[in-house]
Chain A
Amino acid sequence: MSYTIEGKTGTWEIVVGLEVHAQIISHSKLFSGASASYGGEPNTHVSLVDAGFPGMLPVLNRECVAQAVRTGLGLRARINLESRFDRKNYFYADLPTGYQISQFTHPIVGEGTVEIELADGTVRHIGITRLHIEQDAGKSMHDQDPARSFIDLNRAGVALMEIVSEPDIRNPEEAGAYLRKLRQILRYLGTCDGNMEEGSMRADVNVSVRKAGEPFRTRCEIKNVNSIRYVMHAIEVEAARQVEVWEDGGEVDQETRLFDPARNETRSLRSKEDAHDYRYFPDPDLLPLVVEQEWVDELERALPELPDDKRDRFIRQYGIPRYDASVLVAEQAIADYYEEVAKGRDARLAANWVTGDLFGALNRTGRTIQDSPISAQALGGMLDLMADKTINGKIAKEVFEDMLETGDSAADIVERKGLKQVTDTGAIDAAVADVLARNADKVEEYRGGKDRLFGFFVGQVMKAMAGKANPAIVNEALKKVL
């Protein structure tokens, strides 16, 4: 899909690269034994290491390294067996040591790729430049005191992964698809919960514009955007702003900007005079990090099936359309639910019920698959009743609604409501005879060539039998008599 901006001077293309900060799921912090869990009373998830006390030293959390390696594997990226930790030096109230420990020149993960799928079915590959491990900062609160800002270091030192994409993204939709896909992969891997509201995943968005065929122009970095929707909006308004600047004969400054969702605009965050000079150098408190290939292999063997692989398997194994498969693998829990329903049953029918009626019901009731009122087993039980012709498709809808409401099993509902499908040909033949007798005129018309009245007769018979008749037998009986 092509997305361009029509300016006064011609057509502009957008170039976007994303730097995603994803909080690593771990019990303790990256370099200290303090809890990494969210919340907690102010300054309680803080050790003297986190507070940067004199003589305190960092010791690396092995699980955080494993999580970064798993993520790298999930991004089909190169794992660097030797990486290093550098200090990024700057002063800020929420940065206790005056430097952030990060990986600058030698990240743990190198180039990889993420496959995204757009609404029109287009598949694109977005390159990953690198992934590195670093520390989160603390939190400043500005609204509790007229003269002072308050500092809470609970987040200081929590492990983050920074995942940097190539400038391969060309429009807001792709940016959204990329972020959703990344989040999906992280969640599958269990390396980040992807919760943008709590800040455990946030994006810095690099935007520039250019005319077709041009090299890249100056980019601006929009910092800390905390929802996918905002990322998409920010790209749109920032690109429009840059086109205007260029077309008015100006220059876009390389700078950091902030997205203001209320005003739907970006604005400059720091003046140029105050440009940062981070003075990166290898952290002398830490030696180079060396991981063994065997350990990486072990982590790889233990990885869960990734969404793309699962989607392809669903298509292959269950014979369902690509679109359905993509929807079903969106979350691990949905995929698991589906597989349980589909197991030993009509997999395509199962897919229809899960993506159709079940998703509709969850949407309606504001629930997720985890707290679905109908378990996978229960839905499977209903499909079994359809398969053995105890109920037909129409009755199934009724049973499903009842299950949703009462939580009863399909079998119980069929029993309670007497919805068992009638397959007794005698009863059906009688109903057929009755309907034809009462509609003798229509029978004449049908025999006169008005074929489409056949459906009318089926409907009448089904109605007479309160929907419980087996439709195939009804058809057969009607054809015979007519």
Chain B
Amino acid sequence: MSLTELTIADAAAGLRKRAFSAVELVRAHTDAIGALNPRLNAYITPTSDAALEAAAHADAALARDEAKPLTGIPLGIKDLFCTTGVRTTAASNILKNFVPPYESTVTANLLRDGAVFVGKTNLDEFAMGSANITSAFGPVENPWKRKGEADTVLVPGGSSGGSAAAVAAGLAMGATGTDTGGSIRQPAAYCGIVGLKPTYGRCSRFGTIAYASSLDQAGPMARSVRDCAIMLQSMAGFDPRDSTSVDRDVPDYSAAIGRSLKGLKVGIPREYRAEGLSAEIGAAWQQGIEWLRAAGCEIVDVSLPHTKYGLATYYIVAPAECSSNLARYDGLRFGERVEGQTLDAMYEATRRAGFGPEVRRRIMMGTYVLSAGYYDAYYLKAQKVRTLIRRDFTECFQQVDVLLTPTAPTPAFAQGEQSDDPVQMYLNDIFTVPASMAGMPAMSVPVGLGDTGLPLGLQLIGRPFDEETLLAAGSALESAAGFTHRPAIRAEGAK
């Protein structure tokens, strides 16, 4: 098997057995990036040289038997995580030359455990988007193709589209993502990989460029459930520098893989049978239900009555927070500046040139819903609805242990195929947003291919801090599905 096809678990074992060296493993990936990135545009900034240097150190550590859980494992890092000395752009013109003098906690944790970063992955600008088409560095191509449509360029989903595409195509063994309303799970589903959004507070937000602070959460994206467990083990943990980080022990996530599901109660929320759910996804969902039943789970119909308001609530709360979070990009202390005669002229020119249309739109929307006279009608109302959304989940979890839903209403769509109407684009997140609003952990697992040969994902939503049940149920779905399909464009094929 090619080195770019291995799972993290297998690669870690192979490194320890000296089946191959870290330099070989990393080089296979940096070569793949060199070959495929010009087309896929999954990376904004590949860091091949630094990666190979780090790989040599990893080999030295392996030789001394000082290997850590991720020693020598090549990972992609969403370009929203600040990395010391490595340009961090948030896929925005305003940060196109920003070089942070600090490391985010999540990436620092991965480095502590020996990971090798092969580059900074592309994303929607400031993580705002569901198709990775708002990046100032150009769109990302989904490595999957519809049957018989080799020339149709599909979107990888967003906002962690670069991470998803890189992992799917073998340009990284795993990647970090961030998820605000579905930005890990939806691209994972579109690209046929596993993506896990942990409980809000599980991974530190320190050093990760903020979009919507009360929702943003970092998580792993990989080709297996176990790999996600291995990555989350490193990424998660208490950080005193993030006031919303939760001081709670990190359990042994890998131990949950393959755990018996006997007696586990799985809730099927009826509201997710929403309009616009494609037949193929409906069928995949039903199949997932059967698999879990066969694994010993009890299937329970449940209701989340306010879930249908999740998306509208999200599109008030997230823009409101973003309008404030992005005020710091003013051309003064960092980032690109466009000069002006006055301070305000400088601000306006800088922010007009620096932000793309979707970011500007969300800042405008957020500014409006917070403005005098509208705060109560929009923001306060949305936060009250949010309380109801969370209460729905909390009540549900008194009856069941985990929820199973589709991740997205459709498989990946083609660039330009969706209308220009922002609201239509927002509907891609309809199934992922409610768990984000409630702060619950959720995971997308690929379970099969749809009618057009594209991967389909199912979403598991768990109780706060019960990522283990997600991993246990996710691994059951994974083995039942036996998903071994690979995308049309992938590292192996490039050889």
Complex: A in contact with B (CB within 8 Å): yes
Cα–Cα, bound, A87→B326 (Å): 13
Q: SS class of chain A's interface: helix, strand, loop or mixed? A: loop
On whether the beta carbons of A91 and B344 are closer than 8 Å, the reply is yes
Residues of B within 8 A of A149 (CB): 343
Scan residues 330-360 of chain B and give those whose CB is less than 8 A from a CB of chain A.
330, 332-334, 343-344, 347
Given contacts A91-B327, A284-B212, contact A51 B333 (CB under 8 A): yes
- Select which of B88, B102, B326, B327 is within 8 A of A48 by beta carbon: B102
- Select which of B82, B212, B244 is within 8 A of A54 by beta carbon: B82
On whether the beta carbons of B213 and A284 are closer than 8 Å, the reply is yes
Tell me the smallest distance from the CB of A125 to a CB of chain B, in Å.
34
Given contacts A281-B379, A287-B243, contact A98 B324 (CB under 8 A): yes
Tell me the smallest distance from the CB of A53 to a CB of chain B, in Å.
7
Scan residues 130-180 of chain A and give those whose CB is less than 8 A from a CB of chain B.
149, 151
Given contacts A51-B333, A55-B82, contact A281 B327 (CB under 8 A): no
Interface centre among B88, B98, B330 (most CB of A within 10 A): B330
Given contacts A53-B334, A281-B379, contact A48 B243 (CB under 8 A): no
Cα–Cα, bound, A52→B343 (Å): 18
Residues of B within 8 A of A59 (CB): 240-243
Scan residues 87-112 of chain B and give those whose CB is less than 8 A from a CB of chain A.
88, 90, 95, 98, 100-102, 104
Residue of A nearest to B207 (CB): A55
On whether the beta carbons of B327 and A55 are closer than 8 Å, the reply is no
On whether the beta carbons of B328 and A54 are closer than 8 Å, the reply is yes
Tell me the smallest distance from the CB of A92 to a CB of chain B, in Å.
8
Cα–Cα, bound, A91→B100 (Å): 23
Is residue B206 contacting chain A, with contact meaning CB distance below 8 A?
yes
Residues of A within 8 A of B344 (CB): 91
Residues of A within 8 A of B206 (CB): 55-57
Given contacts A54-B90, A284-B213, contact A98 B328 (CB under 8 A): yes
Cα–Cα, bound, A151→B330 (Å): 14
Is residue A129 contacting chain B, with contact meaning CB distance below 8 A?
no
Is residue A89 contacting chain B, with contact meaning CB distance below 8 A?
yes
Which of the 9-residue segments B60-68, B136-144, B367-375, B406-414 touches chain A?
B367-375
On whether the beta carbons of B370 and A281 are closer than 8 Å, the reply is yes
Tell me the smallest distance from the CB of B333 to a CB of chain A, in Å.
5
Tell me the smallest distance from the CB of A87 to a CB of chain B, in Å.
5
Given contacts A55-B207, A57-B243, A97-B327, contact A284 B321 (CB under 8 A): yes
Report the count of interface residues on B (CB-CB < 8 A): 44
- Select which of A53, A54, A60, A277 is within 8 A of B243 by beta carbon: A60
Is residue A285 contacting chain B, with contact meaning CB distance below 8 A?
yes
On whether the beta carbons of B101 and A55 are closer than 8 Å, the reply is no
Residues of A within 8 A of B210 (CB): 54-55, 285
Residues of A within 8 A of B362 (CB): none
Scan residues 367-390 of chain A and give those whose CB is less than 8 A from a CB of chain B.
none
Tell me the smallest distance from the CB of B371 to a CB of chain A, in Å.
5
Is residue A393 contacting chain B, with contact meaning CB distance below 8 A?
no
Is residue B236 contacting chain A, with contact meaning CB distance below 8 A?
no
- Select which of B81, B104, B324 is within 8 A of A87 by beta carbon: B324
Is residue B320 contacting chain A, with contact meaning CB distance below 8 A?
yes
Tell me the smallest distance from the CB of B126 to a CB of chain A, in Å.
10
Residue of B nearest to A93 (CB): B343
Is residue A199 contacting chain B, with contact meaning CB distance below 8 A?
no
On whether the beta carbons of B343 and A287 are closer than 8 Å, the reply is no
Given contacts A59-B240, A151-B332, contact A53 B370 (CB under 8 A): no
Is residue A279 contacting chain B, with contact meaning CB distance below 8 A?
yes
Residues of B within 8 A of A96 (CB): 328, 332-333
Residues of A within 8 A of B81 (CB): 55
Residue of B nearest to A87 (CB): B324
Given contacts A58-B243, A277-B372, contact A285 B100 (CB under 8 A): no
On whether the beta carbons of A55 and B205 are closer than 8 Å, the reply is yes
- Select which of A53, A92, A277, A286 is within 8 A of B333 by beta carbon: A53
Q: SS class of chain B's interface: helix, strand, loop or mixed? A: loop
Is residue A99 contacting chain B, with contact meaning CB distance below 8 A?
yes
Residues of A within 8 A of B278 (CB): none
Tell me the smallest distance from the CB of B112 to a CB of chain A, in Å.
18
Cα–Cα, bound, A281→B382 (Å): 13
Interface centre among B213, B244, B320, B332 (most CB of A within 10 A): B332
Scan residues 33-87 of chain A and give those whose CB is less than 8 A from a CB of chain B.
48, 51-60, 87
Is residue B303 contacting chain A, with contact meaning CB distance below 8 A?
no
Cα–Cα, bound, A52→B243 (Å): 16
Residues of A within 8 A of B327 (CB): 89, 91, 97-99
- Select which of B82, B208, B333, B375 is within 8 A of A281 by beta carbon: B375
Tell me the smallest distance from the CB of A146 to a CB of chain B, in Å.
14
Residue of B nearest to A282 (CB): B383
Cα–Cα, bound, A93→B207 (Å): 23
Residue of B nearest to A31 (CB): B243
Residues of B within 8 A of A87 (CB): 324
Tell me the smallest distance from the CB of B89 to a CB of chain A, in Å.
10
Given contacts A60-B243, A97-B327, A281-B375, contact A54 B209 (CB under 8 A): yes
Cα–Cα, bound, A56→B241 (Å): 9
Is residue B214 contacting chain A, with contact meaning CB distance below 8 A?
yes
Residues of A within 8 A of B101 (CB): 48
Tell me the smallest distance from the CB of B28 to a CB of chain A, in Å.
31
Residue of A nearest to B88 (CB): A54
Residues of A within 8 A of B334 (CB): 53-54
Cα–Cα, bound, A473→B126 (Å): 95
Tell me the smallest distance from the CB of A129 to a CB of chain B, in Å.
21
Tell me the smallest distance from the CB of B199 to a CB of chain A, in Å.
15
Tell me the smallest distance from the CB of A57 to a CB of chain B, in Å.
5
On whether the beta carbons of A97 and B213 are closer than 8 Å, the reply is no
Residues of B within 8 A of A48 (CB): 101-102
Cα–Cα, bound, A281→B374 (Å): 12
Cα–Cα, bound, A56→B344 (Å): 25
Residues of A within 8 A of B320 (CB): 281
On whether the beta carbons of A285 and B243 are closer than 8 Å, the reply is yes
Cα–Cα, bound, A92→B95 (Å): 20
Residues of A within 8 A of B241 (CB): 57, 59
Given contacts A59-B243, A96-B333, A281-B320, contact A89 B328 (CB under 8 A): no
Cα–Cα, bound, A286→B350 (Å): 29
Residue of B nearest to A274 (CB): B344
On whether the beta carbons of A54 and B95 are closer than 8 Å, the reply is yes
- Select which of B240, B242, B326, B371 is within 8 A of A277 by beta carbon: B371
Tell me the smallest distance from the CB of B386 to a CB of chain A, in Å.
12
On whether the beta carbons of A285 and B328 are closer than 8 Å, the reply is no
Residues of B within 8 A of A57 (CB): 205-206, 241-243
Residues of A within 8 A of B326 (CB): 98
Interface centre among A54, A89, A287 (most CB of B within 10 A): A54
Residue of B nearest to A43 (CB): B333
Residues of A within 8 A of B370 (CB): 89, 279-281
Cα–Cα, bound, A89→B379 (Å): 15
Residue of A nearest to B216 (CB): A284
Tell me the smallest distance from the CB of B478 to a CB of chain A, in Å.
33
Residue of B nearest to A46 (CB): B333
- Select which of B104, B244, B323 is within 8 A of A55 by beta carbon: B104
- Select which of A52, A54, A91, A97 is within 8 A of B98 by beta carbon: A54
Binary A-proximity of B206-233 (CB < 8 A = 1, otherwise 0) = 1111101110000000000000000000
Interface centre among A51, A151, A277, A279 (most CB of B within 10 A): A279
22 A-B residue pairs with Cβ-Cβ distance under 8 Å, sorted by A, are A51-B333, A52-B333, A54-B88, A54-B90, A54-B95, A55-B102, A55-B104, A56-B206, A57-B241, A59-B243, A87-B324, A89-B323, A91-B344, A91-B347, A97-B328, A98-B326, A279-B372, A284-B321, A285-B210, A285-B213, A285-B244, A287-B244
Q: What residues of chain A have their CB less than 8 Å away from a CB belonging to chain B?
A: 48, 51-60, 87, 89, 91-93, 96-99, 149, 151, 277, 279-281, 284-287
9 further A-B pairs in the complex, CB-CB below 8 A; given A54-B100, A59-B241, A285-B213: A54-B98, A55-B104, A55-B207, A55-B209, A87-B324, A89-B324, A89-B370, A97-B328, A284-B212
For the complex of A and B, 7 pairs with smallest distance between CB atoms: A98-B327, A279-B370, A284-B213, A284-B214, A55-B207, A52-B328, A54-B209
